[in-house]
Structure 1
C-alpha cells in the first residue's frame, strides 16, 4: 500500500531501497505493477566488527533523528494516524532547522 501511494503521489520516483525482510514477492510486484525498482539492501552476518552497508545508514540516521524527540522514543500512540503524526512532527522540525541553516532562500 505504501509503494502504491508513493507511486500515485510522486510518479518520478523509480528506485526504492528496502530492508532484507522485504525481499521476495514485493520486488517482482513493484516491478510489474508499479514499474518501480525495489533494491533490497542485505546485511551480512558473517562479518565481525563494524562495516558500513551501502544505503542502510540512511535509514539508521533517520531513525536516530526521530528518536531525539521524547514522544517518539516509546510507542505511546494507540491509533496509527496518531503515530504517523508523531513521525511527521519531528521530521518537519528536523528539516526546517536544516533549511533555516542554509540561508539559500
Structure 2
C-alpha cells in the first residue's frame, strides 16, 4: 500500500482525535487526488510542500524544517535516540519530559538574562 492510500485510512482517525486539526503539510508523494479528497471528506487543507524548480543543491523547506528541528531537539535526550520502550505511554511520557526540560532551560536562561540587564541598569 502506498503512503497516499494509507493516508486515506489514517486521516479520518487523526481528524476525530485532534478536533483542532485544520491544516496538514505533506511532501510531494501525497500529490494528486488526496488533496481534493481531504478537503471534501474531512474539511481539512492538505498543503503539499515542494522544492522550487530552480534549486540544484540542498534547500531547507520552511515547514518541514520545523518538524525536523523538533525531532533533533528530542534526540538530544539519550533515552529517545533509540526506541527501547514497549508501551507507547512510556514513549509519550519521555517525549513530554524531554520537551519540558528543553523549555525549562530556555525559560531559566531568559530569566537570567533579564536579571543581568536589571542589575546592569
TM-score w.r.t. the length of structure 2 is: 0.60
The alignment yields a C-alpha RMSD, in angstroms, of 3.0
Match of 2:69 in 1: 61
1:15 is the counterpart of 2:27: no
Count matched residues: 99
CA deviation map 1:12-55 (0-9, x unaligned): x53232344555665445423432212122457x9543212231
Q: Relative contact order (alpha carbons < 8 A, sep ≥ 6): 1 or 2 greater?
A: 1
Could you list the structure 1 runs, at least 4 aligned residues long, displaced by more than 6 angstroms after superposition.
Answer: none
Segments of structure 1 that go 5 or more residues without pairing to the other structure are: none
Greater share of helix residues, 1 or 2? Answer: 2
CA distance in 1, matches of 2:32, 2:103: 33
Aligned-residue offset at 1:79: 1.8
Match of 1:81 in 2: 89
1:6 is the counterpart of 2:18: yes
TM-score w.r.t. the length of structure 1 is: 0.67
Larger radius of gyration: 2
Could you say what secondary structure the match of 1:75 adopts?
Answer: coil
